[in-house]
A and B are shown apart, each in its own frame.
Chain A
């Protein structure tokens, strides 16, 4: 398409520039001569026919590619992706998979297998876009939309919200991780499991901090009383590569900054600033790091 467009550009602009700058006879007849109708009419008709032919070929290709992309496939399983301002909730649905799990901002798929992603929105319109895997599809409140995700080779593919959804539209990313089938099964088994149980005094204190502060009002950690669904499910937080919806590497330092003052990192996000004593903070971070 690019080369055809480039060729059209060169031909049209070349003709224009030649027609503009060509040498003209300096005779007075030239000034008074009426436009030569036949030659020009033929050239214009030829141009119009060429336009028509190019567009026809273009449409044939467009329709066949569109048809191929839209063809239904045998999906391995289905994922439900729910857009929130400004993060992604990811649910793996039974019955194709043995158990239903909920995670956030990171979609794992087995490489080579098509997966149907059902798209929903919790608030405004978002749009899922993983440039290296597929085109966009909007998440529209009250509408059912879906898109196929398929990665030929294992790898990590960055995706991003592509429909303006408010202040932090810029920082609403996600990762699609395509694993080998064995890795995927291992990951899945890990996600199905309940959260890690604290074993030492620091992580036990950390869980206490989590449950007694604002954290538990919005987040869920399966296996504890925390079961809120306003923010991302943190049951296996430490298994994810990023925090803040694809924004920061999931390191202890970034996590500390995010817990204390997410507003300075992602202004307008629902996560409030948390005032924790250094001891409480370290304990909380230690606990969160056990949530693999």
Chain B
């Protein structure tokens, strides 16, 4: 393996790599693909489809609440709708879309050809897809979960949760946790072992840092909810008594486990969004993000602090004051790293000359909306204040300001920014501005009045309210905001449809000032990502590269190989054979899906399912030497 001066990679090399890395043609190719770009794109599209479904549920909720004593839906369907809305947005949209962006972009951004375990990656996607379809099948068949996305026991337990509704919910959560943990492992290993030579840890783009921290948070947070949801499923199916106070269980155990996952979950959604913000701001101001070490430290600190806050969701369950004080202080402390990042971004913008294209507009939206959510977050960290606004519309306002401001605005900017890379075509700038303006106005009109509703005493999760409360006008205003949000989503869909149908092809870097490696390859990237793996010479790979950028050569071109580098300094270490397209991840995911779904109805599914899942796993792992393989795998060269 040697580093040579770069030039245009020879056509022969490109053809050879294409032969080895391209998916098989047709439907078979689609089902057997293990390419991180195909899987990542499907992940993003699936998550976005769930976003639309969750949005439709929210729309019905807003129609019902627009007027006092409205009869758009009854209480039973209303409970299912808000449970589905929360479950969809948190488990099926927000986390998957963030990991999906990482699975697509991280290998490109660090100069690798695929993720670390491509088959596992495909398996994770299919497990997630099956879980989401299962939840929605239940909902459309009249068995939608109805105990809230937080599913507090005993309301969700065997005594009060009717039918199979909450079993379906618990199992859906298990599906998504498996997918989430798989994505986290993919991202961590890919980042640690596959960075291009020269991309030492202190040169990693902030986007990659944020993905790395998100992945670690997933790894530490998601097992708790997986345990929690399995406890619930067992309580319901096998008469275990984890949450039954009368038999020595504990109803609050559920809440502690749930929020020990549930609060980090917020940061799992928020931290990758910070990576988008840093990337987009540096591109559109053409400035390095000010204070790289401070930014990285802030991300890491946020990642740790995110685990020390969960009890602030439970302040009114009678927490001793000294204990509550700790969580108040920890919750308020989050403002420090977040503030430092804000100040660094402002300094970056101040010193640069911003270009007001759609992705950057969404960044301004992020600042304006998120800071309101952040400030109301510091307010609700206070126990005396929280004991008034807890479980009221004030919290609904707060969490939507945080999640829409902190995650969806950056995500939308990221869609506009990376869309040419995903699809090869540029989204319309005009429609993008409409998209932004409607969304910005809609979010504020929909959610700002909810602060006032909460302070006026309107609790959450009520399917109606009486006219005497005087909450009607503000609710109507909030519904008008929701209509505006819906309009902005429609503008986005029109924009995507028109772009895919007609827009001209985008060059490698249509923004012209991007700094990260994915913009060095064609749009969309070839199946092998990089014909010649780049060598990175600075934090901003494309800005810092010399005229004679060295590249890595020496990987085999007749089979799929990745370059593995060392963890800290990204020194070339060895070559790694990576698998060809295969159907087994899909079949293993189907077997897993059948097992989990059957587990809702009988514990015996575990026994039969073990065999059912083992079969495709054996086939998956069966050694398949290619003719011409050396008997001993080559080490470093």
A contact residues vs B (CB 8 Å cutoff): 1-2, 5, 8-9, 12-13, 15-16, 19-20, 22, 24, 30-31, 33, 35-36, 40-41, 43-44, 47-48, 51-52, 55, 58-59, 62-63, 65-67, 69-70, 123-125, 127, 129, 131, 134-138, 140-143, 145-146, 158, 160-170, 267-268
Contact = CB atoms under 8 A, between A and B. Distances in A.
B155 A125 contact: yes
B388 A135 contact: yes
B333 A40 contact: no
A13 B332 contact: no
B317 A51 contact: no
A33 B353 CA distance: 11
Interface string B372-386: 100110110111111
Contacts of A145: 317-318
Contacts of B75: 167-168, 170, 267-268
Nearest to B334: A55
Interface string B145-171: 001100010110001100000000000
Given A142-B250, A142-B251, A167-B79, 8 more contacts: A62-B384, A125-B154, A129-B391, A137-B387, A142-B246, A145-B318, A163-B391, A164-B152
A131 B392 CA distance: 11
B316 A20 contact: no
A16 to B, nearest CB: 5
A267 B457 contact: no
A62 B459 contact: no
B549 interface: no
Contacts of B462: 169-170
B382 A20 contact: no
A143 B388 contact: no
Contacts of A55: 332-333, 335-336, 378
A141 B148 CA distance: 18
Given A59-B329, A140-B317, A9 B390 contact: no
Contacts of B459: 129, 160-162, 169-170
B343 A143 contact: no
Query: How would you classify the secondary structure of chain B's contact residues: helix, strand, loop or mixed?
Result: helix
A136 B391 contact: yes
B348 interface: yes
Interface in B293-350: 294, 316-318, 321, 324-325, 328-329, 332-333, 335-336, 339-340, 342-344, 346-350
Contacts of B328: 59, 62-63
Contact of B251 (A2, A15, A141, A267): A141
A149 B172 CA distance: 42
Given A48-B339, A138-B317, A164-B155, A127 B384 contact: no
A162 B371 CA distance: 27
Contacts of A169: 459, 461-462
Contacts of B325: 62-63, 66
B286 interface: yes
Given A1-B379, A170-B464, A13 B392 contact: no
B382 A51 contact: no
B288 interface: yes
B510 interface: no
B288 A9 contact: no
Interface residues of B, number: 75
Contact of A58 (B382, B457, B461): B382
B620 interface: no
B240 to A, nearest CB: 17
Contacts of B372: 9
The 10 closest A-B pairs by CB, nearest first: A135-B387, A142-B245, A170-B462, A19-B350, A40-B347, A5-B375, A145-B318, A44-B343, A164-B461, A136-B316
Contacts of B353: 24, 30-31
Contact of B287 (A9, A12, A35): A35
B216 interface: no
Contacts of B463: 167, 170
B349 A16 contact: yes
B160 A44 contact: no
A268 to B, nearest CB: 6
B148 A164 contact: yes
B160 A47 contact: no
A44 B291 contact: yes
Given A1-B379, A20-B354, A51-B339, A165 B251 contact: no
A44 B294 contact: yes
6 contacts: A16-B349, A40-B350, A44-B290, A55-B378, A164-B148, A170-B462
B367 interface: yes
B331 to A, nearest CB: 10
B85 to A, nearest CB: 13
A135 to B, nearest CB: 3
Contacts of B324: 66
A248 to B, nearest CB: 9
B548 interface: no
Contact of A9 (B336, B347, B350, B371): B371
Contacts of B318: 137-138, 140, 143, 145-146
Nearest to B376: A5
A35 B154 contact: no
B361 to A, nearest CB: 11
A29 to B, nearest CB: 12
A176 to B, nearest CB: 13
Nearest to A144: B318
Contacts of A40: 290-291, 347, 350-351
Contact of A164 (B342, B349, B460): B460
A135 B291 contact: no
B368 interface: yes
Nearest to A135: B387
B477 interface: no
Given A141-B245, A163-B152, A136 B290 contact: no
B252 A143 contact: yes
A31 B286 contact: yes
B364 interface: yes
B542 to A, nearest CB: 16
A59 B336 contact: no
Contacts of A168: 75
A70 B384 CA distance: 10
Contacts of B382: 1, 58, 62, 65-66
Contacts of A161: 459
Contacts of B155: 124-125, 164-166
Contact of A13 (B288, B368, B386, B464): B368
